[in-house]
Amino acid sequence: MTATTDGSTGAVGPRAPSGNGTTDTARPDPGGDLRVAAERATARSVEHLLGRQDAQGWWKGDLATNVTMDAEDLLLRQFLGLQDPRVTHAAGLFIRGEQRSDGTWATFYGGPPDLSATVEAYVALRLAGDRPDDPHMARAAQWVRDRGGIAASRVFTRVWLALFGWWKWDDLPELPPELVFLPKWFPLNIYDFGCWARQTIVPLTIVSAKRPVRPAPFPLDELHAAPTAGTAGPALAPVASWDGVFQRLDKALHLYHRVAPRRLRRGAMNAAARWIIERQENDGCWGGIQPPAVYSVMALHLLGYDLDHPIMRAGLESLDRFAVWREDGARMIEACQSPVWDTCLATIALADAGLSPDHPALVKAADWMIGEQIVRPGDWAVRRPGLTPGGWAFEFHNDNYPDIDDTAEVILALRRVGHPDPERLDAAIERGARWNLGMQSRNGAWGAFDADNTSPFPNRLPFCDFGEVIDPPSADVTAHVVEMLAYEGRAHHPVTRRGVEWLLAEQETFGGWFGRWGVNYVYGTGAVVPALTAAGLPPAHPAIRRAVSWLESVQNEDGGWGEDLRSYREEGWIGHGATTASQTAWALLALLAAGERESKSVERGIAWLAGTQREDGSWDEPYFTGTGFPWDFSINYHLYRQVFPLTALGRYVHGEPKALTALAGTRKAG
């Protein structure tokens, strides 16, 4: 059985379907000159990307996730009494437009229906005025009931429903604010959580302690499944198992909630509030991402902060900046915004496509990126207190949480620019490279935001069922750092060699590497192979040959590559899925780095990119190829479909970035 065009089946054969979901593309003439077609596609893509640059020098594409962002935005407004009919109507348009014919909502394009997303979307549409007996609502409610109702949804969904009395607080896992008092060496202290989870959990401890209930605007009886006779709830796991330990710990915390000393609890909530306020960014947001901002605003409001308080005003205004208003009047909420990431990737793409290093667009982008470098400590300094700051964040404003991946890619981008002030550029690069060096974890690899964020305990908490809550090292981030260090003349630095050794040990038996922040093994392999060759591994190295063989084996019949998000759960999907522009580019970047420029696989991949390009120089890509949490939270970066194909085409036409290679050979190892 093969996957359908939208990838909606549960099984896949040896080849996934071809095509990228578009109908306005034309295949290249098989007898035509491939190089000419590639050069034409490159030129059109360069023009398209240059036209999207902001006057300040940055690029940013929309970041699409799923309708829970939009639903929770409406629920927050309902909770705070800030309903806006225009916003509610526009959000309803978007959510309604994402509903599928069976009444459900998925968390990624073409994916399976998701219970929690469907519950939240249904409630949001009720807030928007849709009636339970409307056909589309009745289908959704029936589907929810058939899957166990609200009781079967994730913890976060039930937290939102508890705010309005649609669920009982007693039936939710406990999250005490006293967590903030745990020392940094103690298991389950807040720094054991990944930064995204930490920023969410600290305000949620206040919400959990306060257990607020606002008057419900309507009942939700239609979303509850009928109880099964004799059902006594899920049985506890054996006490000797970790699940059993944490289930019993949760029961103990529920008892503690009833007897917690008032002074201790009040002190804990005040300490949590101080922690939250200290981490508010200059633009009013928290961490540059929407969920922590939502829960921080809610938590501070529950502690008595008036909506007109400057902290609250700034927080609420920041939430409005996550809204994308569409031409049809619909309003979509971004989970976060990615200007630094998009800008460094666009700079790399344009430079590798042959744009002059001193082109005004590249110089302007470099100036903006240098201005975004973070030179003060953040939460990362808890594990690396003596390290000098120098990283870059993902977003416009996120000084508390620069990330290792962005920093590596920004440096790779800056090295491609012929800046009029080379000393300024060199100083920024050196500071960033040394920060990345210092953020290596003990095992020789790199995580995204913190070093050694590998505690096994946070994921065990019953509360944490919303995705990955720790930040262990990953192959894709490690590869980007290794590639950067190699091009900075540090290929033989002990830190770099440990990273290379870790990557070689992490290769899967079939030849690919796991992709933490992109889907999936195609992304991981597309990052690792260029890094290993930059670090000095020859194309004939067995690890490189295994990767090449695997990529060739999963190439789609149309010449491109695709991998469905279900590959995170089901082995049958690994390397398989509808062809996409970004994933085709990732595979090509690996093959080109491995010396396969003249191979039939590369030629077919380049032909697919050239043949599916739109007249305006862009590509279409409805499929989600990015991740926040593998499987649990998926992302469609709208600029991925532009920057990665251009990079691949540019390297096919012009070869590997020789300027960087030459630089790596002349700089001293250090």
Mind listing the pLDDT tens digit for each residue in 235-262?
777 877 777 777 788 788 888 889 999 9
State mean pLDDT over 124-149: 97
The residue written with tokens 């695709």 in the block is 562
Q: Name the residue among 258, 249, 169 with its Cα closest to residue 207.
A: 169
Residues in the chain: 670
**Going by DSSP bridges, is the β-strand pair 63-64/323-325 parallel, antiparallel, or unpaired?**
unpaired
Residue 333 CB partners (closer than 8 Å, separation 6+): 69, 70, 73, 91, 290, 322, 323, 324
Q: Is the model more confident about 81 or about 235?
A: 81
State mean pLDDT over 570-596: 97
Q: Is residue 620 exposed (0-12), middle (13-18) or buried (19+ Cβ within 10 Å)?
A: middle
| Structure confidence at residue 236 (pLDDT) | 77
Q: What is the largest CA-CA distance in the chain?
A: 80
Amino acid present at 286: W
CA dihedral 429, 434, 435, 441 (to 10 degrees): 140
**Does the pLDDT at position 334 exceed 70?**
yes
The pLDDT tens digits of the residues spanning 506-522 come to 999 999 999 999 999 99
State mean pLDDT over 274-299: 94
**Does the pLDDT at position 572 exceed 80?**
yes
Secondary structure tally for the chain: helices H, strands E: 23, 5
**Does the pLDDT at position 658 exceed 60?**
no
Mean pLDDT of the chain: 91
Helix (H) or strand (E) holding 332: strand 331-333
The answer to whether 10 and 113 have CB atoms below 8 angstroms apart is no
| Structure confidence at residue 522 (pLDDT) | 98
Taking the C-alpha atoms of residue 470 and residue 459, their distance in angstroms, rounded to an integer, is 7
Residue 415 structure tokens? 């090295």
Taking the C-alpha atoms of residue 625 and residue 524, their distance in angstroms, rounded to an integer, is 12
| Structure confidence at residue 661 (pLDDT) | 56
| Structure confidence at residue 250 (pLDDT) | 75
Return residue ranges of the chain for CATH 1.50.10.20: 34-61+338-454+471-661, 64-214+239-333
State mean pLDDT over 112-121: 97
**Does the pLDDT at position 478 exceed 70?**
yes
The answer to whether 284 and 189 have CB atoms below 8 angstroms apart is no
State mean pLDDT over 339-343: 98
The answer to whether the predicted template modeling score (pTM) of the entire model surpasses 0.85 is yes
Taking the C-alpha atoms of residue 229 and residue 224, their distance in angstroms, rounded to an integer, is 15
| Structure confidence at residue 15 (pLDDT) | 41
**Does the pLDDT at position 670 exceed 60?**
no
Spatial strand order in the sheet of 633-637: 63-64, 633-637, 626-629
3-state secondary structure of 628: strand
Helix, strand, coil shares of the chain, percent, nearest 5, are 50, 5, 45
As a whole-number percent, the residues of the chain with pLDDT over 90 amount to 84
| Structure confidence at residue 49 (pLDDT) | 98
HEC secondary structure over 48-107: HHHCCCCCCCCCCCCEECCCHHHHHHHHHHHHHCCCCHHHHHHHHHHHHHCCCCCCCCEC
The answer to whether 466 and 176 have CB atoms below 8 angstroms apart is no
**Does the pLDDT at position 549 exceed 80?**
yes
3-state secondary structure of 637: strand
| Structure confidence at residue 660 (pLDDT) | 61
The answer to whether 447 and 404 have CB atoms below 8 angstroms apart is yes
| Structure confidence at residue 34 (pLDDT) | 95
- Report how far apart the first and last C-alpha atoms of the chain are (Å, whole number): 54
| Structure confidence at residue 235 (pLDDT) | 75
**Does the pLDDT at position 22 exceed 70?**
no
**Does the pLDDT at position 101 exceed 80?**
yes
Residue 157 structure tokens? 């969904």
Catalytic residue positions?
Answer: 405
CATH number of 34-61+338-454+471-661: 1.50.10.20
| Structure confidence at residue 249 (pLDDT) | 81
The answer to whether 529 and 482 have CB atoms below 8 angstroms apart is no
State mean pLDDT over 182-210: 94
Taking the C-alpha atoms of residue 97 and residue 42, their distance in angstroms, rounded to an integer, is 34
Helix orientation angle between 34-50 and 339-352, rounded to the nearest 10 degrees: 140
C-alpha distances out from residue 607 to 32, 38, 248, Å = 10, 8, 58
Domain 64-214+239-333 CATH (choose: 1.10.260.40, 1.10.8.60, 1.50.10.20, 1.10.287.130): 1.50.10.20
Confidence band of 372 (pLDDT split at 50, 70, 90): very high
